[in-house]
Amino acid sequence: MKKPEKLHKGDKVAIVSLSSGMAGDESFRHRYELGKKRLEDDFGLKVITMPNALLGSKELYLHPEYRAKDLMDAFKDKEIKAIFCNIGGDDTIRLLPYIDFEIIKNNPKIFMGYSDTTINHFMLNKAGLVSFYGPSVMTEFAENAQMHDYTKDSIINTLFKNSKGYKIKPTNEWTSEFLPWEDKNNNNIKRKMIKDNKKIEILQGEKDIEGELLGGCIDTFQMFIGSEIWPQDNWQNKILFLETSEDKPEPSLIAQILRNPLMVEALQNVKGVIIGKPNDEVFYEEYKNTYLEVITKELGLKNLFIGYNYNFGHTAPMCVLPMGIKVKINVTDGVIEFLESATEE
């Protein structure tokens, strides 16, 4: 896998809208502006917004080719060192016909987002490029009152430094409180934090595991399993990470996705599975039982490492998971250690 260069203060970065176009809607534009300002002020980056990123929800829904053009143009621009997604959505799979994998392969640079952006990450994985499952502009960068230190530290340590040896540990508190974005005054109100007494739960596994991270939001998997971006025979030596969205899918849907024959094949080959904290901890025990029911009982994978309640995806604060780099996971506490840097110097 090709690695992008690490970021430096003063680097030019691009913002794209690859799924939802809400960043351009009048009601939500202030969230985009806040996230952009944080990239500039907190991280010292020079931000450019790609031409179609603020066209609005209706226009971008009608034109997935516009979204794809922004992505391709950002990759081709030699001055741009990183690409950050405004937000997720539900139809980034529609970009697939317009993606040039050679352009991505020949222009490695940091790409970050999560949720529906999972599908974009698998596009980059097909092109052979390390990418970063992590914060989006309108959510984590535009966090109410200020960014979470846990999230900010993960960004700095993963994107701006040689990250070999970096360890992702659990946070002490979390929130899924939603303050309506339409009300600009909420930008200044800090969300209520809850102490996390559960930490990381090791559901099964008897020894440390090592492998390359690959995964995303399981809600989206049903849209691209079996497509050209699904890794057909490349699951060995992988650690699969999975999480669920703010839609809080029923546990029965998770079971159905896990039972897909191609998903079963992946589970039978990976080194282990790590699962993110469910949004607002809804279905916390039910999801846990579903994974154990399918993986352990139905598939008989009793020795497969399964870690639960990691701080990535649709929870806050969140860490950054580099897809395509080798990590080690400690069976005692679930801590993730980078065995190589996620970026080049």
pLDDT > 90: percent of the chain: 99
Q: Do 142 and 210 have their domain in common?
A: no
pLDDT at 234 over 90: no
- Domain final residue, candidates 130, 163, 196: 163
Quick one: which of 322, 316, 343, 342 has its CA closest to 151?
A: 316
The confidence score (pLDDT) of residue 265 equals 96
Q: Do 144 and 188 have their domain in common?
A: no
**Interatomic CA distance for residues 166 and 78, integer angstroms:** 29
Reported as a single tens digit per residue, the pLDDT across 104-138 is: 999 999 999 999 999 999 999 999 999 999 999 99
> pTM, whole model, 2 decimals?
0.97
**Interatomic CA distance for residues 177 and 180, integer angstroms:** 10
Q: Do 83 and 204 have their domain in common?
A: no
pLDDT > 70: percent of the chain: 100
The confidence score (pLDDT) of residue 33 equals 98
pLDDT band of residue 233 (cuts 50, 70, 90) is confident
**Interatomic CA distance for residues 174 and 193, integer angstroms:** 5
If DSSP codes are grouped into helix, strand and coil, which group holds residue 255?
Answer: helix
Residue 7, in any domain of the structure:
no
Reported as a single tens digit per residue, the pLDDT across 135-167 is: 999 999 999 999 999 999 999 999 999 999 999
Per-residue pLDDT, averaged over 323-333, amounts to 97
Reported as a single tens digit per residue, the pLDDT across 71-88 is: 999 999 999 999 999 999
The confidence score (pLDDT) of residue 277 equals 98
Q: Do 123 and 246 have their domain in common?
A: no
Q: Do 121 and 20 have their domain in common?
A: yes
Quick one: which of 269, 132, 122, 287 has its CA closest to 201?
A: 287
pLDDT band of residue 232 (cuts 50, 70, 90) is confident
Domain that holds residue 128: 12-163
Residue 1, in any domain of the structure:
no
**Interatomic CA distance for residues 131 and 7, integer angstroms:** 13
Reported as a single tens digit per residue, the pLDDT across 256-307 is: 999 999 999 999 999 999 999 999 999 999 999 999 999 999 999 999 999 9
* Long-range contacts at 187-196 (CB < 8 A, ≥ 24 apart): 187/30, 187/31, 187/34, 187/142, 187/144, 187/145, 188/144, 188/145, 189/144, 189/145, 190/144, 190/145, 190/146, 191/143, 191/144, 191/145, 191/316, 196/170, 196/171, 196/172, 196/309
Q: What is the dihedral of CA 256, 336, 172, 132, to 10 degrees?
A: -70
Reported as a single tens digit per residue, the pLDDT across 48-61 is: 999 999 999 999 99
Q: Do 286 and 329 have their domain in common?
A: yes
Bridge partners (DSSP) listed for residue 5: 344
Q: Do 124 and 111 have their domain in common?
A: yes
**Interatomic CA distance for residues 223 and 309, integer angstroms:** 25
Q: Do 234 and 108 have their domain in common?
A: no
